[in-house]
């Protein structure tokens, strides 16, 4: 299932790139030209992409924070000193 989704992702990205080259317009502009409801002068597809991008940023932050916690638990002697400030001053 993962391999199928990777193949579909590559095919969709190739079509997005081909559309941008042929039309000469960025993908978000093409999304804004789609039929459907508009919110604050932008199409629903633009807002969906924006919301999904925000979720992706939060997800990456969570993974980075989780990895930092695990590494700190595995190697407590190698903890990072933030700005060389002692705690409690």
pLDDT 10s digits, 49-68? 899 999 999 999 999 999 98
3-class state of residue 74 by DSSP: helix
Tokens 């199928």 label which residue? 4
Q: Is the model's pTM score more than 0.75?
A: no
pLDDT over 70 percentage in the chain? 87
Question: Once rounded to an integer, what is the mean pLDDT over residues 4-21?
Answer: 91
What's the confidence (pLDDT) of residue 73?
87
| CA distances, 62 to each of 1, 4, 45, 77, 79 (Å) | 25, 26, 26, 23, 19
């Amino acid at each position: 299932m993962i391999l199928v989704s990777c193949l579909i992702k590559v095919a969709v990205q190739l079509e997005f790139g081909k559309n941008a080259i042929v039309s000469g317009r960025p993908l978000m502009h093409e999304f804004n030209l789609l039929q459907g409801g508009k919110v604050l002068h932008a199409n629903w597809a633009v807002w969906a992409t924006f919301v999904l991008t925000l979720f992706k940023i939060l997800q990456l932050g969570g993974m980075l924070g989780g990895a930092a916690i695990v590494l700190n638990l595995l190697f407590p002697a190698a903890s990072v000193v933030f700005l060389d400030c002692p705690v409690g001053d």
